[in-house]
Amino acid sequence: MKKIIIGFILLPLIIFATGVMFVLVGGGLNSMFKKDSGVSTAEDKTQPQTKKTDVPSAQAPNITQVTKPAISYAITYYDVSGLTKDEIKANMTQARKGTFLEGHNGATTAEININFKRRQLADKCETVMDKFDLSLIYTYPRLTSLPSVSSGIAAAWNTFIAALKVHEEGHAKIEVERANILFQKLLSLPEYKTCEEFDQAYDVATNTHEEETKLIGAQYDKDTQGGRLQGISF
């Protein structure tokens, strides 16, 4: 799954679940209908970008420190159609072509928006984290022809979507847990004499956290066989 940190640091992450910006995407299309079809995993991550908000040293910042991450969820869909399994698979492949979903069925996008206000004093860099938002967006296929397909295909589709959601929600759970860890890690950064030193410590903390999260997501995909063990493969 992927995440984006915006503000003081910008870190996009998508997790792909063919079972992992961070995007997470679910099991391969063939897994919806074929018992032995393979499930691929892909991951695309945007490196952190730093955005600094400095407060004049003569002006005391009137800022409230956030006490916990603010978490939100949303769902988006891409439409597919078809009456037979082959038609649905072909249409899904075409719908994803040229997008971040290409080769994958669904995705979970995690966007972390962090902002630090800071000012350089004579003997230290004063910092306050006034924003830490985590936005999780699931992207799933939507079969617009579902009312017209046979009962067997409808059942296969609904079971596939349910399994895909279980897998993606597993990625989202990891992102929530990791966001809370990152939040505490940033709160625990020591006081630095200069804001440049703070920037360096911030970069080390977030980059290390990002790599650790990537490994955890990869292990989740390995443990679930990219979602196959959760029912994405039939």
Instruction: Write down the domain spans for the chain.
Output: 5-28+39-198
Please list the ranges in the chain whose pLDDT falls under 50.
1-52, 57-58, 60, 234
Residue 99, classed as helix, strand or coil, is coil
User: What pLDDT score does 64 carry?
Assistant: 87
Please tell me whether the overall predicted TM-score, pTM, comes out greater than 0.85 for this model: no
DSSP string of 165-223, one letter each residue: HHHHHHHHHHHHHHHHHHHHHHHTPPPBSSHHHHHHHHHHHHHHHHHHHHHHHHHHHHH
